[in-house]
Structure 1
């Protein structure tokens, strides 16, 4: 709970103090959030991480630098500041936990001055994480997430339940809506373009701007306004999906009752690596690729781990996928339909990773059924194909009180289909030149089934030697012998033809892919300016509110 001196403050005094401090500071001291001129936009930029599976930017919070995921699919700002001397302006004592698609964060709601590029937001509310699980959800130097959706999530709901709606509207806003509130004359939108990492490791330019468009991409302003249809997310109506020029007609009736027949509710989520669409739609896309083979069940050593159907695709093949929104067509780059794995770790035996010496390519667009608030989720693999402008309209938190212009999205297509295929062919050729030989999908499925069947048989027999026998020849010789003469290992020869070179050295091969996908929702400072330190005074708890020690759970 909050400290005793906070309990003694009246709500009215807190509001007066907050308004005087924040708005007076912004007008008098000049340390509030500022906008650059439209003629010289401040492009904060986003950086692609881990094989295009995560996009981050740089912030300064409480005097400390953080690399955080940019996530249009959630709202709250959180950082992992454990071990750092974070300069907070106040601590509420409210402990909360919240979940993403996979992964969970626990921490305390606190306040600190926030810098995003040249912009300063005094006394920004955030969650200081005390626990992030799984522990490897955010690898490397990534230490948090900045949500770019609407004020309906854990922080806002916790403060509203404890202090009331008026207090939450003042003290519980996310960074983006806080920035626009403190600058009412500035255009209330942000633009986002996700970059790509080329085959040689070079990264194309990514854009992240507030209240202005990137130079040369101003045409997005003339694009149709795709109005938000659901208050928690950037959700709009999808007109159609076409595969090789043929419209897909397999959508069920939308989970959002207000949508007309044939349209479905679509969330745009920059924190989600893999788009989530119904299984029938996944099958329609990948069955259109010659040589692609379905496989039901988890594939060891990859990110396709659910009990659903995956597709193993020839690495030099893809398809023409297009989405229609607001009457505009948006083709998807063929690169964004497959995920490459150079070596697949099938098992670990006596501490040695058993890695197939082959490259396989799997479906990037994965199975995800409607959840009630939306029908499909278009993540990074769609958003890389557009320049996106997210407008808040006449938004007032918690979102359902919007009057006048609804929040909306505008897209400018960046993918030229003809050029995209040439880029795809060049990219695949360069990647495979440095990878293990690509697998034939049908052959790989046969070998995978044989390997899993043999492993399960060994486990059910209760004999550890059975598992060792299944992998021993591979580990020693790099190829299994055909022992079908006695019937004990009739598939070993098939596996050996595919998995040459499985030895202790395989440990170094590891898994190339998206290690960050366990936190799919997963969602720069180019100039620094010191913000004046000001303590933030908070209202007292409302005894009739929810239990602030628990807070509200939020699932992205």
Structure 2
């Protein structure tokens, strides 16, 4: 095993060895860091920072879904630390993934802030962290609510210490050092692989990114339930193409039409009930549902149902919080993938990235909104004070029209050098058999948008599948699946901050513009009415730049770090139906 990377530079070199980069001159690879090497976008999948532990820098994930900190570098950490002798474990999700080790205390530095005596777990054993290690991620910093029932405080208390004091979380330690600065943090998450490679990421503790100070005027969304120990709030729902999605809250005492969602940077996508997922994608022209499919979901899902979408058809979706409409970039709502068919040929497909959260959503929680949502807002998470209860503020930073144009250019570029794309019904028949598609599973069995029609025509010109003779390969073997380079599916002192300022590499080549210009114009025209409707509702808010749980864990500490298993360059059904860290 290679020695522990002692700098972000060496981690970058490791990334470049493990992952392909885009061949397009205007497209940045799915890995970006800010100029100060403070915050890193790992393929739109993980957001990490440099945590210095006793002089040893460790690349760790930011996780709003948990609280405690742990590190697991490949070599032993150095420095002067006190070994408390307390053993601690953190279990994620359904408990099948975990880390355990010994609680140490010592000097820790994050975002330029030094904490002299910080407790963390020095991990000696873990299950389910392999894919993070492969990306050069060797730990985690929780940004959730502190309390005596956390794993580190509980372990220290059991070992005879004052667990609440000695085992307080990193944010709690920072707030205690500067009590006059405010008990909150704010961040934006970047998106790489779009036209502008908008790696505009920042993390600010007890302050704001100067570009987003307008967030202070956004409505305060109170934590729900108050004292629930997690970053969950009430949402006013989801709309697709201007039409509201019907969504009943699961056991939560909220007004009709409202539901409870948890903001979690440890989750890559939207996790919702299956009926909500199906309503969203059934509203997309040309989208078809493959029930219990052999086509892999590229994000975690509790079932094997897959929505296949024409690659050049955007999902026009908005969310609503406190009366504020927040558009979601279409690139965050579907993933492009190359599949090897049972006929031995390669095909391109686009898969809906909103998936079934199932039992992971748990009690009194209706959805997890992960990075796919948080990339579209600037977020402020306040723990509250003597006058204010814990709350979240959101500022939309995605513009509907610009995002749609961005989507068409990116997808056009990717399709230019991809295997042929079949119509959704045909790709499902190819992998799941000719009887797998019924009229009820298609959102539009006879008509699609101009974008999906053009895409199918162009895609089939290269290779036409015979659906009558195409069936899944014998023995139920799974399709080989790769994510194209540049795709969006390669599937965190008081005034200190880490920010991203990456130069714009341009958008697309002239050949791409010439080839796809008419298609883009046609698609924009076809979707213009819906886009203008959404834009008219949301423009005032823009500032540019089933379900049960058996858990008995105290609700003040709810780790819900989600991750798809396996490397991003090769997928199988096994890799995408498991629950990992």
Alignment TM-score, normalising by the size of structure 1: 0.69
Are 1:98 and 1:555, in contact at CA under 8 Å, matched by a contact in 2?
no
Name the SS of the counterpart of 1:187 in structure 2.
coil
How big is each residue's C-alpha offset from its partner over 1:193-241, in whole Å with a ceiling of 9 and x where there is no partner? 0101125794522111111111221100111111112422101111222
Give the Cα separation in 2 of the matches to 1:125 and 1:206: 27
Q: Among 391, 401, 404, which residue is 2:382 paired with? A: 391
Deviation at 1:43, TM superposition (A): 8.5
Structure 2 residue 225 is matched with structure 1 residue 232: no
For 2:181 and 2:390, the matched residues in 1 are separated by 16
Q: Is the 8 A contact 1:44 1:208 kept in 2?
A: no
Calculate the TM-score normalised by the size of structure 2.
Answer: 0.66
Cα distance in structure 2, aligned partners of 1:481 and 1:318: 25
Larger Rg: 1
Number of equivalenced pairs: 424
Preserved CA contact (<8 Å) 1:333 1:385: yes
Verify the 8 A CA contact 1:154 1:553 in the aligned structure 2: no
Do the aligned residues in 1 keep the contact of 2:187 with 2:202 (CA within 8 Å)?
yes
Structure 1 residues 226 and 338: alpha-carbon distance in aligned structure 2, compared to 1, 3 A threshold: same
Q: CA deviation at 1:112?
A: 2.3
> Cα deviations across residues 37-68 of structure 1 (Å, max 9, x unaligned)?
xxxxx988532112x11111112112111111
Match of residue 321, structure 1, among 292, 301, 317: 317
Match of 2:206 among 186, 208, 211: 211
What are the ranges of 5 or more consecutive residues in structure 2 without an aligned counterpart?
1-34, 437-461, 474-478, 492-496, 500-556, 562-581
Distance 1:336 1:228 in 2: 25
What is the SS of the residue equivalent to 2:209? Answer: coil
Aligned equivalents of 1:135 and 1:516: distance in 2? 17
C-alpha distance in 2 between matches for 1:103 and 1:267 = 20
| Aligned-residue offset at 1:98 | 2.0
Change (3 A) 1:169 1:355: farther
Of 311, 334, 337, the match for 2:333: 337
Of the candidates 82, 86, 89, which is equivalent to residue 78 of structure 2?
A: 86
Q: Does 1:198 align with 2:193?
A: yes
Distance change in 2, residues 1:439/1:76 (3 Å): farther
State whether structure 2 residue 59 is matched by structure 1 residue 67.
Answer: yes
* Partners of 1:426 and 1:236 in 2: CA distance: 35
Q: Deviations over 1:135-160 (max 9, x none)?
A: 52302211111111111431133334
- Provide the aligned C-alpha RMSD in A: 3.3
Distance 1:286 1:405 in 2: 39
- Seen in structure 2, the aligned counterparts of structure 1 residues 270 and 317 have a Cα distance that, compared at 3 Å, is same
Bigger shift: residues 120-129 or 427-436? 427-436
Q: Is the 8 A contact 2:336 2:349 kept in 1?
A: yes
Quote the residue 2:241 is aligned against. 244
1:94-141 per-residue CA deviation (whole Å, 9 max, x = no partner) reads: 222222237321222211211112210111111111122225230221
1:432 aligns with 2:424: no
Q: 2:38, 2:49 within 8 Å by CA — same for their partners in 1?
A: yes
Please point out which of 261, 282, 296 is paired with 1:266.
261
Closer, same or farther in 2 for the Cα pair 1:131/1:63, shift >3 Å? same
Q: Which residue number in structure 2 is paired with residue 365 of structure 1? A: 354
Residue 417 in structure 1 maps to residue 409 in structure 2: no
- Taking structure 1 as reference, are residues 438 and 156 closer, same or farther at Cα in structure 2, changes over 3 Å only? farther
Structure 2 CA distance, aligned partners of 1:480 and 1:313?
18
- Rounded to whole Å, the distance in 2 between the matches of 1:214 and 1:47 is 16
Deviation by residue 1:432-470 (Cα, 9 ceiling, x = unmatched): 2232222321111101113999xxxxxxxxxxxxxxxxx
Alignment of 1:307 with 2:303, yes or no, is: yes
Distance in 2 separating the partners of 1:323 and 1:81:
39
Whether 2:444 is the aligned partner of 1:447: answer no
- Inter-CA distance 346–98: structure 2 relative to 1 (3 Å threshold): farther
C-alpha distance in 2, partners of 1:365/1:278? 10
Q: Matched residues in 2 for 1:136 and 1:63: separation?
A: 25
SS of residue matched to 1:241:
strand
Deviates more, 1:148-157 or 1:424-433: 148-157
Aligned residue for 2:152?
Answer: 155
Does the 8 A contact of 1:43 with 1:207 survive in 2?
no
Cα gap change, 1:46/1:82 in structure 2, threshold over 3 Å: closer, same or farther?
Answer: closer
- Give the aligned partner of residue 279 of structure 1: 274
Q: Shift of the alpha carbon at 1:420?
A: 1.0
Out of 159, 168, 173, the residue aligned to residue 173 of structure 1 is: 168
Aligned to 1:378: 369
What's the secondary structure of 1:253's corresponding residue? coil
In structure 2, relative to structure 1, the CA distance for the partners of 1:494 and 1:449 (3 Å cut) is: closer
Aligned 8 A contact 1:301 1:511 in 2:
no
C-alpha spacing 1:290/1:553, structure 2 compared with 1 (3 Å): closer
Could you tell me whether the CA contact under 8 Å between 2:238 and 2:245 is conserved in 1?
Answer: yes
Secondary structure at the counterpart of residue 425 of structure 1:
helix
